[in-house]
């Protein structure tokens, strides 16, 4: 039985897919999971065992560079010993600088390296390690910044979703419900603008419609103020920082307003929830914009620019498509088209085939 290690860390965008990959492979292979401190908060400690190995961001501070560099070199030695001790055959890296020492050590030990890239722009660590990898698991083959000479390494699968996700019913309602159920997602690290500007959008909408809002907060210090504002306008609300079980069949969302992480949009797409995408404009290589543009070009979502954000314009835009639902229904139909082949067994078979062939 092969010994496989999955390295992850940082944001939920790295960690959640790593856990899904582990669930896909755990029945057939001996799995190890490693994460840094930042990523550990996204791991259910009761369900998953993992090793905590912290890796410094070398370029986090010019003044700390010598110390961070020394610590980074030490982490390579540490991961080298760990991989050798566990007799690892295969590394699956979900990207981020945390995985870089594992990739370097795996290269030195001649361990098979598989990369995972869910975004429409290749990550910097993945691009650096691509030359040494066997394959890179992607959702699409038109990845921005991807070197043409390595295109044969792309291995395409449908977007990864938690196994229990497939038990949920898609929202097939052709009419927007009353009250309108709206979901606001700022990503695993939240979005400051969603606590302020999006709150104002919801308040304006409540002048025309009854609303149920489920909203992720950037800063829980804002909770009392937002709660008071929603109560004043009789808006039913569920405010949270991080929620494990966000979706369920008892609460179909009519609309989502979201950041543009690959996982969030994959989930909304699978459940056929039309969404307004507001990419984080300062993301590395602007990858959130290109993630959203993929869905926008397929006429599955609406795309708004944060830098030119106007809460009045967005509120009026939403009022227009609620009153004339033709565009809304078209988005829902297109979401169903692009996600219908996404099944647990389909992805599982492809992943097992990939790992087994090497």
* pLDDT over 90 (residue 268): yes
Give the pLDDT of residue 248. Answer: 79
The answer to whether the beta carbons of residues 52 and 40 sit under 8 Å apart is: yes
305-337 pLDDT per residue, tens = 998 989 999 999 999 989 989 999 999 999 999
* pLDDT over 90 (residue 341): no
Query: In CATH, which of 3.40.50.2000, 3.40.50.1980, 1.10.10.350, 1.10.20.140 is domain 3-161+342-356?
Result: 3.40.50.2000
* pLDDT over 70 (residue 302): yes
Quick one: which of 92, 138, 99, 97 has its CA closest to 115?
92
| Radius of gyration from C-alpha coordinates of the chain | 21
Rounded CA gap, 327 and 307, in Å?
Answer: 25
The answer to whether the beta carbons of residues 306 and 346 sit under 8 Å apart is: no
Percentage, residues of the chain above pLDDT 90: 71
* pLDDT over 90 (residue 70): no
Rounded CA gap, 88 and 29, in Å?
Answer: 11
Angle at 325 between CA 323 and CA 327, to 5 degrees: 125
Contact residues for 80 (Cβ-Cβ < 8 A; gap 6+):
105, 108, 109
Confidence of residue 275 (pLDDT cuts 50, 70, 90): very high
Helices (H), the chain: 12-25, 37-40, 65-85, 100-108, 124-129, 192-205, 223-232, 262-270, 287-297, 311-323, 326-339, 344-356
121-148 pLDDT per residue, tens = 999 899 999 999 999 999 999 999 999 9
Rounded CA gap, 293 and 303, in Å?
Answer: 8
- Do the first three CATH levels of 3-161+342-356 and 166-339 match, i.e. the same topology? yes
Residue 246 CB-half CA count within 13 A:
22
Give the pLDDT of residue 250. Answer: 62
Give the pLDDT of residue 52. Answer: 87
Helices (H), 178-222: 192-205
Percentage, residues of the chain above pLDDT 70: 97
Q: Give me the residue spans of the domains in the chain.
A: 3-161+342-356, 166-339
21-55 pLDDT per residue, tens = 999 999 999 999 999 988 898 899 999 999 988 88
What CATH class has 166-339?
alpha beta
């Amino acid at each position: 039985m092969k010994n496989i290690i999955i390295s992850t860390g940082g944001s939920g965008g790295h960690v959640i897919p790593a856990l899904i990959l582990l669930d896909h492979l755990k029945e057939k292979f001996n799995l190890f999971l490693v994460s840094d401190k930042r990523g550990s908060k996204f791991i259910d400690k009761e369900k998953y065992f993992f090793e905590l190995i912290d890796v410094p961001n070398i370029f986090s501070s010019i003044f700390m560079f010598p110390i961070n560099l020394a610590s980074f070199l030490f982490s390579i030695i540490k991961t080298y010993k760990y991989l050798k001790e566990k007799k690892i055959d295969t590394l699956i890296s979900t990207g981020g600088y945390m995985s870089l020492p594992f990739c370097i050590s795996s290269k030195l030990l001649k361990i098979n390296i598989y990369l995972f890239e869910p975004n429409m722009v290749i990550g910097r660590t993945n691009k650096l390690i691509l030359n040494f990898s066997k394959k890179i698991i992607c959702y699409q083959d038109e990845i921005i910044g991807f070197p043409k000479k390595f295109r044969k390494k792309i291995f395409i699968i449908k977007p990864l979703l938690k196994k229990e996700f497939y038990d949920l019913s898609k929202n097939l309602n052709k009419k927007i419900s009353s009250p309108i159920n709206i979901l606001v997602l700022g990503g695993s690290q939240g979005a400051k603008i969603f606590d302020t500007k999006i709150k104002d959008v919801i308040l304006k909408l409540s002048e025309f419609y009854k609303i149920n809002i489920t909203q992720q907060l950037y800063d829980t210090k804002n909770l009392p103020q937002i709660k008071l504002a929603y109560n004043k306008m009789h808006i039913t609300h569920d405010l949270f920082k991080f929620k494990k079980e966000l979706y369920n069949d008892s609460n179909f969302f009519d609309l989502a307003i979201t950041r543009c992480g690959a996982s969030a949009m994959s989930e909304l797409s699978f459940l056929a929830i039309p969404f307004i995408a507001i990419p984080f404009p300062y993301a590395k290589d602007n990858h959130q914009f290109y993630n959203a543009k993929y869905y926008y070009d397929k006429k599955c979502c609406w795309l708004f620019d944060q830098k030119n954000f106007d809460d009045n314009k967005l509120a009026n835009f939403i009022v227009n498509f609620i009153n004339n639902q033709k565009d809304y229904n078209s988005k829902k139909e297109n979401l169903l088209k692009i996600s219908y082949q996404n099944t647990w067994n389909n992805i599982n078979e492809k992943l097992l085939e990939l790992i087994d062939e090497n």
